Each structure stands twice: as C-alpha cells, then as structure tokens.
Amino acid sequence: MLGAVRPCFRPIPKYPNPHFASVSLDSLIRKYALQNAVFFDGEANVKAVVGKVLAEDKSLRSKAKDVTALAEKVVAEVNTLTLEQQTEELEKIDPGLLEKPKVERDMSLPDLPNVKGDVVMRLAPYPSGPLHIGNARMVLLNDEYVKRHNGKLLLVYDDTIGSKEKLPTAEAYDYIKEGLDWLEVECHETFYKSDRMDLFYEWGERLLREGHAYVCECSSEDLRTFRKEEKECAHRGASVEENLENWKKMLEGKYGEGEAIVRIKTDMQHPNPAFRDRVLLRISEREHPRVGGKYRVWPMLELSWAVDDYELGVTHILRGKELVMEDLMEKWIWDALGLEGPEFVHYGMMRLKGVKLSKSQIRRKIENGELTGISDPRTWSMQSLERRGIRPEAVRSFILSLGMSLTDIEVPAENLYAENRKLIDAEAARHFFVPDPIRIEITGVPNIESVEIPLHPEFPERGMRQLSAGDVVFITKEDFDTHKGEKVRLKDFCNIILDERSDFVSLQVDDIPKIQWLYDHIPVEVVMPDGSVVKGQGELNLEYTEVGQLIQFERFGFVKIDSKGDPIVAYFSHK
C-alpha cells in the first residue's frame, strides 16, 4: 500500500470557484457576442466569442467549458436581435468595439506578387481526416496573407472522389472545421466541390468540344506504356462528335469503372511522362458521403482546381513546390480556353523531425485500434494538440517562423514547444508528480506534518498549496537509482542521505540535487506524445484542478488535465 491520507492535510489552492458565472462574466461575454454579431451580419459565433473572453481574462481558461456553456446562452439571445439593435446596444456598452482592430501582421513573409486589387485566396482541404500540423502551414500562411491585405479567404472542401485508398469521410468535414476554428482562422465563404459537379462537367465538355481533350478507352497498362514510349493512343485522333458521344455514354453509365476516361491533349513528347495526356475525368462508382451515388463521373483534382480557382475569383494560390505539376495542368487548361488564372506562390516542404503525417494512415490506424481516435497525440491533429495543451497562438508563431522559403526543411518539435512555453509558463500552477514511485523511510526527521509551497514560484501572490509530510515518503525509482547514497533535498522539505532507510540531515536549503516526493497522494496517469502511459502518484491538491486546466508537474513537464477520477488522467504537453 502506498500510504494513507492523513487528516492533517489542509490544501490552500487559489483556483477560481467552479461556480464563477457572474454578472461581470455575463457582461464580458455579451459585449464580445455583440461585437462578433455586428462584424458578421448579425450572427455571433460561440467559439469566436469564447476566444475573446479567454484572451481578455486568462484566469478563466481553466473554466473554458463553463464559459462556453454560458456563452452559448448569451450568443443565442444576441442572435435574436436585429443588426441595428445589436449595434445600438454595443454603442452604449463600449463604442470602441464597433471599430475593427488593426491587426499587425507578421511582415517577415514576402509580399504576394502582382497584387492588382482585392486579394482572394482559398483553403482546399481534402476531407479524409482532421487537419494535422503539416496542413496547418497551408492554412496559416493563407490566413496571414489574407489578413495582411484585408482580403477574402474561401474554404473549398476538395471532396471529389479520389483513389480507393483516399476517400472523403462524413466526419472529416467537421474535423476540419473544428481545426480551423481552433486555429482562429476565419473563412468568409464555404464551398463543396461535390456541389459543383455540373460546373466541372461544363468545363470538361467544353474542352472536348474545342478539341483539347478526348475520351480514351485504353487500359491503365496500355496508358502507362504509351506514355513511356511517347506514343499517341488510337483514341487521340477521334473526332469531336465521337468524343462528345462517348462523353455522353460515360455520364449515362454505358461504360463501367475503368473502361473510359477523359484525357487532355498535352504533348506526348513532354519531358515529364506524367504530364503526357493526363487524365481529367474518370468513372467511379463508389458512394460519396454527401451526395451518395448521384454522380459516377468525377473530375481529377487538377480540373476541379482549374475550374474553381477561376470561377471563384481566386487571385493567389499558395501551395507546396511539390505540386508544380498541378500548376502546369491548371495553366494549360486556362491557356487552352483563353482564360487568365491566378498567381502561383510556392514554399518548400516542412517535416517535423521523427513524425510521419498522413490522414489516410491516421484513419487506418484508428480503424484497426492502433490509435484511440483523432485526438490521440500520435496523430498530430489540431484536436490532439489542443488536448495536449498546445495553444493555437504557438502553432501560428511556429509556422510563421518558417517563412516561405522554397528549401525543404526538417524542424524539431521542440521549436513548437518553445513557442508554447512562452505562453503557458507564467500561467501554469506547479504540482508534484512521482512516476514509478518507491517507498523510503527517513530516520531522525523532525515532527513536521506539512509544508507550504507556492502555486507558482514567480507569483507568490497567487497563493500557497500545502503538502503533508512525514517520515515515510515516495520518490521516483529513477531518482533513487541515480542518487542512492548521496545527500539530496526533498524539494521544499528537508535534506537526507538517500537510501531505503534515509537519514535526516537538515532543513536548510543547500546546493544539492532536488527531487520530488510525496507523503499523501492520489493515482495519476500521464499520456505521452508517443501514446505510452506513465503511471505514478500526484499530490492531493490535484483534486482541486479542473478538466482542461494546464499545469506543470515539477521536474517532469507541462500537462493538461484530461479527466478527473481514479486515476486522474493528464496529457503531456512538453518539458
């Protein structure tokens, strides 16, 4: 048995009262709900309002769920008012909030080329899973440039049917939106490519009608062979009338999957075999999560991008330099039809050292039980980062620090953690946690029943916490193995010569190794970034923490309380 709770224990935590909802908080929420509603045509967004509230009063972050519950009620009330009523009320409360703040953007990013008017940019995530840290670069760079130019950001779900291994899933749309909201990225309009199929068909038929494309019945093996040998297939010379007739057959279901495709006439001698008469549209009889089996002919991404980037008025396209082939295809289509498309801007590939990122792999591992879900720390999704206590501001700072270089880079996760540490270090209360505990006895220790320790050593005004003490304590096995026989300090308690039966030395603070210890304790489990679980014991004051609260286990690392029970479960953030 690892020790019993002694009645002398008297915690003195200075956390907010859980029943903190008050008139002042209600007013704080209401003013930001009114401001958000006025800025966005009378409809306030709960998450945006909560973000503003927590940014103004950081002490409420540990009560985020309660703030959100109250905000939902206030926002619902505000949204029943007319825009005029919302404006009038906000003017009475705080007229300064009627002016949109001028946000200073990160000017280390290079300027967008050829800006001729309003800037329109787009995010085109494929809804096969949640946004992960790699996707965050695309998202935040677009967001920064749009905000810099006071432009418009479009969210275009790239939900055409792809390969058998890469299919859209119904839940992924919500996962992506959750990630964008958490990153505080505002999208001004939302589109679904699965709603725009008729437009893709129009463009495809126009390319056929003008002789820029043809219907091909070659097998995939023949297609590869002809490309390799730089040979045109027999279908390339078909008349426009023949191609339109076969196109009609594709739409009517007279071809099966794989029996016919629409290819564009590029150049069969192009230096890059992959660019030789690429596929524009193909037949797929798989079910789609939004439109079911309504369509059986689906555009390839290059065609859908060429259509939407032009039709939606996009002015600048940011993408990784590995997608230059897609640039060529889009430009080829625009040139063939006599259209002027957007500007392309590229950046190099970013890899997080030791981390493999793949939405399809994440989905498969969740399905087979290797991962617990999208918030499993090994996914590196926005949901998993939030669960670990990584702040969206830290992700933004980390991404922007990489700039727009065309050079491929590999960066350690520590760079992200360093940004997060700047945000949370002053906020996080300190607590003791003893992983892999072993019991030691102390002979000669004075009769000290408890010690008082600051909740945060740099901010003593926040109050103290109390730990019971005695002649039997628990320390980590690692500390015991490392310092056995040495003089060590049980942090904030006393100095001992460490052994199974340790000798008390003194109470004074000496310059010797300091180790964590506990007398009374409760079971704690910490989920690590690699999915492993560290089990141990934590101080009883952890009972006064809240789910969602970020704290620091001294000499172990920052953690976020995930659930309260037996044991308390926390997710490891970083050192």
> What whole-number distance in Å separates Cα of residue 483 and Cα of residue 510?
15
For 209-262, what is each residue's pLDDT tens digit? 999 999 999 998 998 899 889 899 999 999 999 999 999 999 999 999 999 999
Q: Name every residue whose Cβ is closer than 8 Å to that of residue 502 and which is 6 or more positions away in sequence.
A: 440, 441, 442, 443, 496
Residue 213 pairs with which residues in a beta bridge?
Answer: 264
In the structure, what pLDDT confidence band is assigned to residue 6 with cuts at 50, 70 and 90?
Answer: very low
| Residue of 337, 201, 163 lying closest to 281 (CA atoms) | 201
- Which CATH code fits 120-194+348-422? 3.40.50.620
State the fold for domain 426-575: Ribosomal Protein L25; Chain P (2.40.240)
Token digits for 196? Answer: 């725009």
User: How much of the chain, in percent, has pLDDT values that exceed 70?
Assistant: 93
> How many Å apart are CA 43 and CA 404, to the nearest integer?
35
- What is the longest distance spanned by two Cα atoms in the chain? 101
Write out pLDDT tens, residues 350-374: 999 988 888 888 888 999 999 999 9
For residue 542, pLDDT beyond 60: yes
Nearest to 203 by CA among 343, 341, 336: 336
**In whole angstroms, what is the distance from residue 441 CA to residue 520 CA?**
14
Region 273-279: what's the mean pLDDT?
91
Tokens 């899933």 -> residue: 169
Tell me: the pLDDT tens digits for 177-200? 999 999 999 999 999 999 999 999
Do residues 227 and 276 make contact, with C-beta atoms less than 8 angstroms apart? yes
pLDDT confidence band for 504 (50 / 70 / 90)? very high
pLDDT at 65: 81
- Distances in Å between the Cα of 360 and the Cα atoms of 125, 328, 353, 411, 505 are 13, 26, 20, 23, 59
Per-residue model confidence as pLDDT tens digits over 101-134: 544 445 478 999 999 999 999 999 999 999 999 9
- Residue 12, both tokens: 């003195």
The CATH architecture of the domain made up of 196-299 is Alpha-Beta Complex (3.90)
Phi (first) and psi of residue 451, to 5 degrees: -130, 150
pTM for the complete prediction? 0.81
Give the per-residue pLDDT at 48.
82
**Least confident piece of the model among 47-61, 296-310, 489-503:** 47-61
Q: What is the rounded end-to-end Cα distance, in angstroms, of the chain?
A: 30
pLDDT at 135: 95
Q: What integer is the mean pLDDT of 8-18? A: 35
DSSP 500: S
Length of the chain: 575
Copy the structure tokens of residue 448: 């000290």
Q: Which two tokens stand for residue 341?
A: 């498309």
**pLDDT for res 58:** 64
Quote the pLDDT of residue 163: 65
Distance CA 568, CA 557 (A): 16
Q: Inter-axis angle of helices 301-311 and 197-209, to 10 degrees?
A: 100
